Amino acid sequence: MGRKSQGWRPKKILLVIAGGIALVAGAVPALAAGDTSVPVTVGSPPGPFSQNKQNEPALAVDASRPNILVAGANEEIDMEACNAGDPTTSGLTARDCLGPAACTAHSGPIGTLPRYYEAGLASDGDPAVAFGPQPGANGTFSWANGSRLYYANLTSNLNAKRSETFKGFEAIAVSRTDDVAGAAAGNNNAWKAPVVISKQSSTVFSDKEQVWADNAASSPFFGNVYVCDAAFRGQEKSRNAAPAPLVFVRSTDGGETWTQRQLSGAANNSNNNPPDGCSIRTDSLGVVYVFGMGTGPNGQTGELLARSFDGGQTFEPFRFLFPVVRPGVFDPALGRPVMDGIAGARVDLAAAPSVDIANGAPSGAGATNELLINWADGAGGLNNEKSLVRYSMDQGQTWLGPITASANPDRPFYTAISISPSGQDAYLVYDAYLAPYQATTTTARPMQAVVKHADIGAGGAPAAFVELNRGASGDARGSSQNGLTAEFFGDYVYTVATNDYGSAVWNDVRNGGDCPKIDAYRAAVEGGPAAPRPAPGTDCPANFGNTDIYGGSYPDPTP
């Protein structure tokens, strides 16, 4: 879980900043609305592959200026086209390397996070974004000083030498800006230099990080910044033994310096999986909540929680909250679970917790501190997956529910939830397959995104989730790993909530094109009739592999 698949190549990170409720399209959506979503960025081209790939979006709202949204995504616009040199391989180079001649990477304008090249680094993937207050000259945090955006992501050494800048295979780095307008305009100087925050050794692959800033002024730890991630140890050397403790990193000085502690054991085997797919939130009192999915009593898989009451200095042990059932079936060729069919997109973290809290930010006044947790669950069996929600009103001690947020024919595989600071509204988004699992690659695999809203009732219970938007459908077969052997959407969708509106971003394949020769090749990899590996640039439609980030913002339908 959390391991990179074969055929994976490092990706870049994209930043999009929206002023106002910039993704709103039209009036308040009606029940079961059509699609009013828009592309989050227009920078990704429809072709060639793999420059046309975007995935794994992240989203944050500035609590002190809730008209400001920031989205991040994995973006491959700066990679070479597959027809540059050998048309059956792909790798890293510049976006102007369109073939057919081979070329080498070179410096030049990029469409991704700046100042990594100068630090001997490459920004890779798993974007995570959060807003917090700026520190003042005396180190005291205040929203009056302005807002600071934190952008965490995986990072690798720029060149092949593993110890050029840090040891190991992948590290976690954090970029920061106090000038979101300048960053949106492409001013590299708006960004501070990235800081590598993970402790690295020669075997460490840091993965699946999340970032959060304590954003309620009522908290005694207001302004602290927290990151969690899984520290895989040795997975690139042996897939038979890959201990992966969940680690927690914090900064009390606005991201200048960081300290790390291990929150879970390192064992990772058939009997014990440490928490992965982590999420962090803070309440109005400064309590830090770290969630993950891992092993509980009797080997059960479930959601786990560790809490800190001193600003992340010490933690309670992880506590098993309740069991979940990971959706999907194991695909032996891919080596990971899938839901839509053979050679499908991985769904390793479909049951990982998406969490949000009504902490009253930016002031913390009037906070209910209600926690919502959301995941995709396979307890109903293959083809009956659900997006489920539980809630807690007592700092995560007890959890009520589950509540089913999805409806047939949707089969959610990545899902996310948010709650307004006042605790009155919940917003939910999921990507869903619309057809049953398929044992062949010859028929379409429709998928689309759905955005929903629920009022929070007495006692904290979300009411029925009402549909706000249903995205345009696309064929999942039109997505692809860079190695071509399977589909790919990454591991995340995201939503945020204010007291006036909710916003969501998701992976979208409406503009992608299916490639019959790729379908045949994938079937061959799965044990079917032999088929040669195609060259996407010459054997496929121009829009094969084209996945985008779409999103929307939706006014509270029941103000």
Residues 6+ apart with CB under 8 A from 247: 198, 199, 206, 228, 229, 230, 231, 260, 261, 262, 263
pLDDT number for residue 169: 87
pLDDT at 335 exceeding the cut of 80: yes
- pLDDT above 70: percentage of residues in the chain: 87
pLDDT at 425 exceeding the cut of 70: yes
Higher pLDDT, 506 or 268: 506
Q: Three-state SS for 522? A: helix
Of the candidates 73, 46, 214, which has an alpha carbon nearest to the alpha carbon of residue 130?
214
With vertex at residue 176, the alpha carbon angle to CA 115 and CA 154, rounded to the nearest 5 degrees, is 65
Of the candidates 114, 123, 182, 199, which has an alpha carbon nearest to the alpha carbon of residue 155?
123
Q: Three-state SS for 444? A: coil
Residue 111: alpha-carbon gap to chain centroid = 19
Cβ atoms of residues 412 and 507 within 8 Å:
no
Q: What is the pTM of this model?
A: 0.92
Higher pLDDT, 10 or 217: 217
What does the block give as tokens for 162?
């593993």
pLDDT number for residue 26: 30
Q: Which residues is 217 bridged to in the sheet?
A: none
How many distinct helices (H) and strands (E) make up the chain?
3, 30
pLDDT number for residue 130: 98
- Element at 521 (helix H, strand E): helix 516-525
pLDDT at 28 exceeding the cut of 60: no
pLDDT number for residue 94: 60
pLDDT digits (tens, 9 = 90+) for 158-200: 876 656 789 888 999 999 999 999 998 888 899 999 999 999 9
Of the candidates 354, 209, 378, which has an alpha carbon nearest to the alpha carbon of residue 293?
354
Higher pLDDT, 106 or 472: 472
Q: Three-state SS for 455? A: strand
pLDDT number for residue 342: 98
Region 487-497: what's the mean pLDDT? 96
Q: What is the CA radius of gyration of the chain?
A: 22
φ, ψ for residue 521, nearest 5 deg: -65, -45
Q: Three-state SS for 153? A: strand
Region 216-226: what's the mean pLDDT? 98
pLDDT number for residue 13: 52
pLDDT number for residue 417: 98
pLDDT at 3 exceeding the cut of 70: no
Q: What is the three-state SS of 259-306?
A: EEEECCCCCCCCCCCCCEEEEEEECCCCCEEEEEEEECHHHCEEEEEE
pLDDT at 428 exceeding the cut of 90: yes
Give the Cα separation of 358 and 365 in Å (integer). 11
pLDDT at 500 exceeding the cut of 80: yes
Region 9-38: what's the mean pLDDT? 49
Neighbour count for residue 322 (Cβ, 10 Å): 14
pLDDT at 353 exceeding the cut of 80: yes
What does the block give as tokens for 217?
């002024």
Confidence band for 79, pLDDT divided at 50, 70 and 90: confident
Confidence band for 27, pLDDT divided at 50, 70 and 90: very low
What value does the mean pLDDT of the chain take?
88
Cβ atoms of residues 543 and 46 within 8 Å:
yes
| DSSP secondary structure of 218-231 | TSTTTT-EEEEEEE
List b or e across 141-164, with b for residues whose CB sees 16 or more CB atoms inside 10 angstroms. Answer: bebebbbbbbbbbbbbbbeeeeee
Confidence band for 18, pLDDT divided at 50, 70 and 90: low
DSSP 392: E
Cβ atoms of residues 359 and 282 within 8 Å:
yes
Residue appearing with tokens 């999420």: 279
pLDDT digits (tens, 9 = 90+) for 132-150: 999 999 999 999 999 999 9
pLDDT at 4 exceeding the cut of 90: no
Residue appearing with tokens 């890959």: 242
| DSSP secondary structure of 194-262 | EEE-S---TTEEEEEEEEEE---TTSTTTT-EEEEEEEEESTTT-TT-----EEEEEESSSSSS-EEEE
φ, ψ for residue 222, nearest 5 deg: -50, 130
Region 379-393: what's the mean pLDDT? 98
Region 338-356: what's the mean pLDDT? 97
pLDDT number for residue 186: 84
Q: What is the three-state SS of 129-173?
A: EEEEEEECCCCCEEEEEEEEEEEEEEEEECCCCCCCCCCCCEEEE
Residues 6+ apart with CB under 8 A from 382: 327, 328, 329, 339, 436, 437
Confidence band for 235, pLDDT divided at 50, 70 and 90: low
Give the Cα separation of 254 and 353 in Å (integer). 27
Of the candidates 355, 437, 438, which has an alpha carbon nearest to the alpha carbon of residue 399?
355
With vertex at residue 497, the alpha carbon angle to CA 131 and CA 228, rounded to the nearest 5 degrees, is 45
Give the Cα separation of 431 and 39 in Å (integer). 15
Confidence band for 91, pLDDT divided at 50, 70 and 90: very low
pLDDT number for residue 5: 28
pLDDT number for residue 497: 98
pLDDT number for residue 168: 85
Region 94-99: what's the mean pLDDT? 70
pLDDT digits (tens, 9 = 90+) for 313-329: 999 999 999 999 999 99
pLDDT at 348 exceeding the cut of 80: yes
pLDDT number for residue 88: 47
Cβ atoms of residues 494 and 58 within 8 Å:
yes
Give the Cα separation of 431 and 491 in Å (integer). 11
pLDDT number for residue 24: 31
Q: What is the three-state SS of 91-139?
A: CCCCCCCCCCCCCCCCCCCCCCCCCCHHHCEEEEEEEEEEEEEEECCCC
pLDDT digits (tens, 9 = 90+) for 399-410: 999 999 999 999
Give the Cα separation of 306 and 300 in Å (integer). 18
DSSP 25: -
What residue segments make up the domains of the chain, in order of their start?
Answer: 12-22+32-307+325-555
pLDDT number for residue 302: 97
pLDDT number for residue 83: 63
Amino acid at the residue 508: D
Residue appearing with tokens 């999921």: 430
